[in-house]
């Protein structure tokens, strides 16, 4: 049954709640919905899960109203969408901006609800009568698809599930159990996480099921393949020893090239690197180009006749300014905008979601006079982009460092990322910047895998004249980090910068090692280092990193990625979309931008400049 149905204005005033079913809701689902979904530009999604509830919503953009329905997650009520649209229609007839109480709407709502329920019953009955067998499977599939939609998973999973849906009723029970468990875990959800942690937990439970399902499919489909591969491979490679596995001491000796006596030869004292002010502190000077109208560019891919008609009617409408925006009107403008975003290297999925969200917020709105549809859409998209790129919490690192200093403990920053993005280089840049502001820094070389990583950090430390904690290669990074932090507490360093090895997001043992490092040491800031050149993979990297970090977290508090460091920004001219993709998918703000290879090439993200470049 419906738990609650609310109508409120975009300004925050509740206009009407259903009084018949006046159950108090556990927690604050509406506020969480607004904070983590509607304000995060995810209003194009179908539903939102919070604790034991599922929420669905619809907007009336012209009057600035939001209609939200809350119901128990376990029940799959099919009439909610229908009910919401009917409520929207009838409420907008009686809405008056001056009126604050709408008690007479109770009666109307009761009727509408009865109507909607009846209609849903009918539909269910007709479906069941026509195809009894398929109906059972379909119900299973429908529920799966609904849960999947509410999880917002990628579309490629659907294909796999449908192939495994035969005889999957046992699996369904597992899902239900998994959901109930995760529901209990997520009642103390932090409202500030953009990425729904409950979503991730659900992905975890689904992952368990999915893997089983996949294995089945794989075993069915690729039995032939695997049998072919096995015979030729006899001489297997000796596996690289990662962390805990006990390795033969001879192997360890052979591979450990740590030089016990320090650098042999080059013991010259390197002068402390002082290259001037870091670009973090310089004011950003960006040329204010005149904003060229996008309509000057001819939209060449549309048919000329349709274009002429569209253009004429849009001009006419722009002058009169009375038309309500419909989906069909918005589509061409949104499509063009999406293409433009994608040419600026925004991931395809993100561009799609953004356009849906903007569409949801503009549909039904009245056009202001003398504005074209395209400029309205552009304005809405610009606002949405600024909203996404504006950090949700303060990114004042100096303040955090001072706060940690007062508590007499070092401020720990862990740099994570895939291979070759520039973690070590940017770690040195951050150390330089902190040092310039009279903060004592210590580096911890927890990249114990890549040859030369420790030497690299050692060189940086020598040039910057800051202490470095290293234990050589082939050591457990989590333990090295722990000892580094203890050392920092002992000698009074304010900040500890921990460098980790690069790892692909799919590599299970490496991600587990990373998660262990983070759980053991509880750093203050987990900084994901991503390069600006990355394309669609950014979405995959960040979401998998976050997922693994939440899956494998042991204690109650789940640490996710707290901030993003965008590197190699000088190599992209104006294709700045990676920043947007990363921020959207993870909800973490961009704290630094690396724009070169010397110590001073570190700056802050300029939101307005990026938005302007994206929409140019």
Query: Taking a C-beta distance cutoff of 8 angstroms, is the pair 64, 9 a contact?
Result: yes
Q: Which residues bind other proteins (CB under 8 A)?
A: 6, 8, 10-17, 30-31, 34-35, 38-40, 64, 100-101, 280-284, 386-388, 390-394, 396, 398-399, 401-403, 437-438, 604
Structure tokens at 354: 């953004």
DSSP 237: P
Distance (Å, rounded) from C-alpha 115 to C-alpha 121?
10
Shortest distance (Å) from residue 66 CB to other proteins: 8
Beta bridge partners of residue 60, listed in sequence order: 65
Task: Indicate the residue among 264 and 407 with the shorter CB distance to other proteins.
Answer: 407
What span, in angstroms and rounded, lies between the C-alpha atoms of 72 and 86? 21
CB 558 within 8 A of CB 550: yes
* Rounded-to-integer distance, Cα 87 and Cα 136, Å: 31
Among residues 108 and 143, whose Cβ is nearest to other proteins?
Answer: 108
As a three-state string, the secondary structure of 342-376 is HHCCCCHHHHHHHHHHHHHHHCCCECCCCCCHHHH
Q: Which helix (H) or strand (E) holds 278?
A: none
Q: How far is the CB of 232 from other proteins (least distance, A)?
A: 57
Q: Please give the Cα distance from 69 to 47 (Å, whole number).
A: 10
Nearer to other proteins, 336 or 602 (CB): 602
What value does the CA radius of gyration of the chain take, rounded to a whole number of Å? 28
Measured from the CB atom, the residue of 397 and 468 that comes closer to other proteins is: 397
Q: What is the 3-state secondary structure (H, E, C) of 523-576?
A: CCEEEEEEECCCCCHHHHHHHHHHHHHHHCCCCCCCCCCCEEEEECHHHCCCCC
Nearer to other proteins, 5 or 501 (CB): 5
For the bound state, the minimum distance from the C-beta of residue 368 to other proteins, rounded and expressed in Å, comes to 16
Minimum CB separation of residue 595 from other proteins in Å reads: 16
Nearer to other proteins, 34 or 351 (CB): 34
Q: C-beta of 34: minimal distance to other proteins in Å?
A: 4
Q: How far is the CB of 52 from other proteins (least distance, A)?
A: 20
Closer residue to other proteins (CB): 136 or 398: 398
Smaller CB separation from other proteins, 398 or 504: 398
Half-sphere exposure of 210 (CA within 13 A, CB side): 15
Cβ-based neighbour number of residue 143 at 10 Å: 15
- For residue 294, give both structure tokens: 């996008």
Residue 10: CB minimum distance to other proteins, A: 4
Largest distance between two CA atoms of the chain = 89
Q: Which is nearer to other proteins, 158 or 400 (CB)?
A: 400
Distance of alpha carbon 603 from alpha carbon 430, whole angstroms: 10
User: In angstroms, what is the minimal distance from the CB of 580 to other proteins?
Assistant: 14
Task: State how far the Cα of 468 lies from the Cα of 100, in Å rounded to an integer.
Answer: 64
Residue 590 CB, shortest distance to other proteins, in Å, is: 14
Q: How far is the CB of 610 from other proteins (least distance, A)?
A: 14
**If residue 321 lies in a helix (H) or strand (E), which one and from where to where?**
none
Q: Which is closer to other proteins, CB of 66 or CB of 461?
A: 66
Pairwise CA distance, residues 370 & 492, whole Å = 64
367, 321 Cβ separation under 8 angstroms: yes
Q: Which is nearer to other proteins, 367 or 397 (CB)?
A: 397
CB of 3 to other proteins, least distance (A): 16
Q: Pull the structure tokens for residue 57.
A: 């919503």
């Amino acid at each position: 049954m419906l738990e609650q149905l609310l109508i409120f204005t975009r300004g925050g005033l509740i206009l009407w709640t259903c009084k018949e079913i006046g159950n108090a809701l556990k927690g604050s689902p509406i506020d969480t919905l607004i904070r983590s979904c509607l304000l995060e530009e995810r209003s194009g999604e179908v539903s939102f899960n919070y604790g034991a509830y599922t929420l669905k919503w619809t907007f009336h953009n012209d009057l600035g109203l939001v209609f939200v329905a809350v119901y128990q997650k376990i029940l799959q009520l099919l009439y909610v969408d229908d009910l919401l649209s009917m409520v929207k229609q009838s409420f907008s007839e009686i809405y008056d901006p001056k009126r604050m109480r709408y008690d007479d709407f109770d009666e109307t709502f009761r009727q509408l609800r009865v109507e909607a329920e009846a209609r849903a019953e009918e539909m269910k009955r007709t479906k069941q009568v026509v195809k009894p067998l398929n109906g059972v499977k379909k119900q299973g599939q429908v529920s799966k698809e609904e849960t999947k939609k509410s999880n917002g998973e990628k579309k490629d999973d659907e294909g796999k599930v449908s192939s495994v849906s035969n005889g999957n009723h046992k699996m369904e029970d597992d899902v239900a159990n998994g959901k109930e468990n995760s529901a209990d875990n997520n009642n103390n959800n932090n409202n500030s996480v953009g990425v729904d942690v409950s979503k991730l937990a659900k992905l975890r439970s689904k992952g368990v099921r999915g893997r089983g399902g996949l294995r089945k499919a794989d075993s069915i489909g690729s039995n032939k393949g695997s049998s072919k591969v096995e015979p030729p491979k006899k001489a297997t490679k000796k596996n690289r020893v990662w962390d805990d596995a006990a390795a033969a001491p001879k192997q360890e000796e052979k591979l450990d090239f740590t030089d016990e006596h320090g650098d042999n030869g080059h013991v010259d004292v390197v002068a402390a690197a002082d290259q001037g002010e870091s670009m973090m502190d310089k004011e950003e000077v960006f040329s204010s180009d005149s904003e060229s109208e996008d309509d000057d560019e001819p939209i060449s891919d549309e048919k000329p006749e349709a274009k002429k008609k569209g253009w004429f009617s849009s001009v006419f409408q722009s002058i009169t300014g009375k038309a309500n925006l419909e989906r069909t009107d918005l589509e061409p403008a949104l499509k063009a905008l999406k293409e433009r975003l994608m040419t600026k290297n925004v991931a395809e999925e993100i561009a799609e979601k953004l356009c849906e969200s903007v569409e949801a917020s503009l549909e039904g709105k009245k056009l202001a006079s003398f504005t074209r549809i395209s400029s309205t859409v552009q304005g809405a998209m610009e606002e949405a982009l600024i909203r996404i790129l504006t950090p949700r919490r303060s990114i004042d690192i100096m303040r955090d460092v001072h706060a940690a200093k007062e508590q007499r403990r070092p401020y720990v920053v862990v740099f994570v990322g895939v291979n070759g993005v520039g973690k070590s280089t940017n770690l040195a840049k951050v150390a330089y910047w902190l040092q310039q502001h009279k903060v004592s820094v210590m580096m911890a070389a927890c990249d114990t895998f890549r040859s030369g990583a420790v030497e690299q950090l050692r060189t940086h430390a020598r040039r910057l004249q800051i202490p470095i904690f290293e234990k050589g290669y082939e050591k457990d990074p989590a333990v090295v980090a722990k000892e580094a932090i203890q050392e920092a507490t002992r000698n009074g360093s304010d900040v500890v910068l921990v460098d980790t090895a690069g790892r692909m997001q799919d590599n299970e043992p490496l991600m587990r090692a990373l998660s262990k490092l983070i759980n053991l040491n509880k750093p203050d800031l987990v900084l994901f280092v991503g390069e600006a050149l990355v394309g669609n993979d950014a979405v995959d990297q960040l979401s998998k990193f976050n997922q693994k970090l939440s899956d494998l977290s042991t204690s109650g508090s789940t640490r996710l990625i707290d901030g993003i460091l965008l590197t190699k920004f000088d190599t992209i001219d104006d294709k700045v979309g990676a920043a947007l993709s990363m921020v959207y998918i993870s909800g973490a703000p961009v704290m630094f931008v690396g724009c070169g290879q010397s110590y001073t090439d570190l700056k802050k993200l300029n939101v307005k400049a990026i938005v302007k470049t994206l929409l140019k």
